[in-house]
Chain A
Amino acid sequence: QVQLQEAGPGLVKPSETLSLTCNVSGDSISSYYWSWIRQPPGKGLEWIGYIHYSGTTNYNPSLKSRATISVDTSKNQASLKVTSVTAADTAVYYCARNGDRFDYWGQGTLVIVSS
């Protein structure tokens, strides 16, 4: 059974870098695209971007080049970094399988941006 688990700090200071990992079990990270999606408290869903293990990436321009997604095939893990965070980046961050239809999701991790 495919399982995704996000991990990372729950609190990040303004102007710093948010860093999260997504550990994948039950599947190979080399088999699919992997996406990051976020949801501010009480609001809707925003796609951040996706990556294929080959290195192909695509990002939402709304993040103004602050987001970087990478994969570590040896750890079967995807990662997300968002630089220069502000309060507007406070959200639950999800990783999901695929770049088109998101069929498996992690449980999500809440990241609060605050000093």
Chain B
Amino acid sequence: DIQMTQSPSSLSASVGDRLTITCQASQDIDNCLNWYQQKPGKAPKLLIYDASNLETGVPSRFSGSGSGTDFTFTISSLQPEDFATYYCQQYDYVPRTFGGGTKVEIK
């Protein structure tokens, strides 16, 4: 299985901060990576697909980059509604696998 290693596992940040999360794949997955946001008690929501494409309706403060094994997810200016857990997910191989998640909390 492809292992997806996300870091950090948690972080504290303030409204307006720039936030970066990294995701490393255990082998080359080209650009076959998605990013999701999950709030407590809710299903995950797709934010970024194919490593860098913004899903329709998602604010432009969210962005993604990377290819191969190393990927980055960025929120340019953290908003109150962005406090949540974020997951990366690869789809180059079966089984599809997710990172362990990054919980973003209010400082």
Taking a contact as CB atoms under 8 Å apart, the answer to whether B43 and A108 are in contact is yes
Q: Is the CB of A45 within 8 A of B44?
A: yes
- Chain B residue with Cβ nearest A106: B43
Q: CB of A115 within 8 A of chain B?
A: no
Instruction: Count residues of chain B with CB under 8 A from any CB of chain A.
Output: 23
Question: Are the C-beta atoms of A47 and B43 separated by less than 8 Å?
Answer: no
Interface size of A in residues (CB-CB distance below 8 Å): 22
A44 lies within 8 A of B98 (CB): yes
Assess whether B34 is in contact with A102, with CB atoms less than 8 Å apart.
yes
Among residues of B, the one whose C-beta sits closest to the C-beta of A46 is: B98
Check B97–A100 contact: CB distance below 8 A.
Answer: no
A60 at the interface (CB under 8 A from B): yes
Residues of chain B within 8 A of A35, CB atoms compared: 96
CB 8 Å contact bits of A43-83 with B (1 = contact, 0 = none): 01111010000000011111000000000000000000000
B46 and A60: CB pair below 8 A?
Answer: no
Within 8 Å by CB of A103, from B32, B55, B87, B97, lies B55
Give chain B's interface residues, CB within 8 Å of chain A: 1, 32, 34, 36, 42-46, 49-50, 55, 87, 89, 91, 94-101
Binding site for B on A (CB under 8 A): 35, 44-47, 49, 58-62, 94, 96, 99-103, 105-108
